[in-house]
Amino acid sequence: MRRSDRLFDLIQILRDGRLHRASDLARRLGVSERTLWRDMATLMASGLPVEGARGVGYILRAPITLPPMVLSATEMEALRRGVQMVADGADAPLARAARELAGKIAAVTPEAEGVFAEPGRSSARAAPHLPLLRAAIRGHERLAISYRDPDGGETHRDIRPLALETWGRVWVLAAFCEGRAQFQGFRVDRIVAVQPTGERFPDDPGRSLADYRAHNDRPRVTPPETRNSDPA
């Protein structure tokens, strides 16, 4: 049996969510326990949610497949465009995952091949800030940022980061600006510097993500610098 086939069979066995001893797995696949250990190390290194160790056993902690589904032509187009948006390269880890996903989509829908464009300049400028911004959003941490406005002037803001959005190929940070006491959308490629403060912010009424979305509940078809909520 080829190693790739063996790894595939291992995944199918582990999908039941039960704990499997290495000796049992090796016997089912017709290999030595040493070979089985190497195969499991490969699966774990690939990022699959497999846990375990020699003498204990191995278990798949989370589902790794989606149930079969039928997509309309419009839904398929939405899927491709969404994956393309992430694969444009602004956030390196997510872009890499999106490119891998694109390959899987292309394998079953060949017409999806070739839809991915090269990252734009704005995506490249945004890339260094995205991991830190995502971490601050998850941790509800206030940030101090330096921001360059459309005229080239630089301002400094204390903000509550709420969400990252994409408008075309532009990444936008939705935030509540403490100094101006209002919601604002910051183009990430215009952020000059980001400084974590170590201070968590509460989910205060009128300053939450839900409030931001209610405040901006209208079609988003123009870059943020042309909208009323954009920084001056």
The pLDDT of residue 63: 63
The pLDDT of residue 168: 57
Contact 194, 132 (CB under 8 A): yes
The pLDDT of residue 145: 96
Q: What is the mean pLDDT of residues 164-169?
A: 69
Cα Rg of the chain, angstroms? 23
Q: What is the mean pLDDT of residues 72-101?
A: 74
The pLDDT of residue 55: 79
Q: What percent of the chain is predicted at pLDDT more than 90?
A: 22
| pLDDT score of 221 more than 50 | no
Contact 217, 142 (CB under 8 A): no
Euclidean distance between the first and final Cα of the chain, in Å? 65
| pLDDT score of 127 more than 50 | yes
Domains of the chain: 3-60 (1.10.10.10), 73-118 (no CATH), 122-226 (2.30.30.520)
Enumerate residues 6+ apart whose C-beta is below 8 A from 162: 137, 174, 175, 176, 208, 209, 212
d(CA 90, CA 121): 9
Model's pTM, two decimal places? 0.48
